[in-house]
Amino acid sequence: MKGKRFYRGLLSAALVSAFLFGNAAGAGTVSVYAGNEQNAAAQTADACGLADDIQDGVTLQCWNWSYSNIEAHIPEIAEQGFSAIQTSPIQFCKESTKGRTQGSSWWLYYQPAGFYIDNTGTNALGTKAEFEDMCDTAHEYGIKVIVDVVANHLGNTTGNDLSSAIPDDIRNDWSCWHDISKNINNYNSRYEITQYCMGGLPDLNTGNSKIQQYVLNYLKECIDAGADGFRFDAAKHIETPDDSSSGCGSQFWPTVIEGAESYAASTRGIDLYCYGEVLDQPDSAGTLSIASYTKYMSVTDNQTGNAMRNSVNSGNASGAASSYYYKSPATADKLVLWAESHDTYADNSSSGVSTDNINKTWALVAARADAMGLYFARPSSYNTMLGSADVTGWSYDVVEKANEFHNAFAGQNEYCASSGNIAYIERGTSGVVLVNCGGQGTWVSVKANRMADGTYTDQVSGNTFTVSGGTISGNIGSTGVAVVYNTTGGGGSHEEETDNVAYIKLPSGWQEPVYCYAYDSATETVNNGEWPGQQMTKVSDGIYKYEVPGTIKDPRVIFYSSDSNRYPADMEKGLLLSGSMIYEDGNWNTYTGDSETEQTNTAYFYKPDGWGSNLYCYVYSADDDTVRNGEWPGVSMTHVSDTLYKYEVSDEITNPLVLFTDGNNQIPGANEPGLSLSGSMVYQNGNWTVYQN
CATH topology of domain 1-35+600-677: Immunoglobulin-like (2.60.40)
| Span 416-441, average pLDDT | 96
Averaged pLDDT score across all residues of the chain: 88
Q: Nearest Cα to 94, choosing from 147, 153, 180, 146?
A: 153
- Rg, C-alpha atoms of the chain: 26
pLDDT at 25 over 50: no
Equal fold, 46-408 vs 501-590: no
CATH topology of domain 46-408: TIM Barrel (3.20.20)
SS3 content of the chain, % helix, strand, coil (to 5): 25, 30, 50
The alpha carbon of residue 348 and the mean position of all alpha carbons in its chain are separated, in whole angstroms, by: 25
- Which DSSP helix (H) or strand (E) runs through 259? helix 259-268
In the prediction, which pLDDT does 591 show? 82
pLDDT at 13 over 60: no
301-305, 496-500, 553-557: lowest mean pLDDT where? Answer: 496-500
Taking the CA atoms of 492, 496, 502 and 503 in sequence, report the sign of the dihedral they define: positive
Q: pLDDT-derived band of residue 3, with 50, 70 and 90 as boundaries?
A: very low
pLDDT at 595 over 70: no
In the prediction, which pLDDT does 624 show? 86
Whether the bond into 282 is cis, omega within 30 of 0: no
Taking the CB of residue 464, how many other CB atoms lie within 10 A of it? 14
- Burial bucket for residue 387 (CB in 10 Å: 0-12, 13-18, 19+): buried
Q: How would CATH label the architecture of 501-590?
A: Sandwich (2.60)
| Span 167-181, average pLDDT | 98
pLDDT tens-place string over residues 358-377: 999 999 999 999 999 999 99
| Span 210-236, average pLDDT | 98
pLDDT at 493 over 70: no
In the prediction, which pLDDT does 498 show? 56
Please give the torsion angle defined by the CA atoms of residues 690, 691, 692 and 693, in that order, rounded to the nearest 10 degrees: -170
Q: pLDDT-derived band of residue 341, with 50, 70 and 90 as boundaries?
A: very high
- Burial bucket for residue 569 (CB in 10 Å: 0-12, 13-18, 19+): exposed
CATH topology of domain 414-485: Immunoglobulin-like (2.60.40)
465, amino acid identity: F
pLDDT at 600 over 90: no
- With vertex at residue 675, the alpha carbon angle to CA 671 and CA 680, rounded to the nearest 5 degrees, is 155
pLDDT tens-place string over residues 278-301: 999 999 999 999 999 999 999 999
> Domain boundaries in the chain?
1-35+600-677, 46-408, 414-485, 501-590
195-199, 296-300, 610-614, 627-631: lowest mean pLDDT where? Answer: 610-614
In the prediction, which pLDDT does 21 show? 29
189, amino acid identity: S
In the prediction, which pLDDT does 320 show? 98
- Which DSSP helix (H) or strand (E) runs through 684? strand 680-684
- Which DSSP helix (H) or strand (E) runs through 418? strand 414-419
Q: Nearest Cα to 124, choosing from 71, 176, 163, 68?
A: 68
| Span 615-622, average pLDDT | 92
In the prediction, which pLDDT does 32 show? 29
How far is 386 from 81, CA to CA, in rounded Å? Answer: 25
CA distances from 632 to 71, 138, 295, 430 (A): 10, 15, 43, 40
pLDDT at 495 over 70: no
| Span 523-542, average pLDDT | 80
Q: Output the pTM of the full model.
A: 0.69
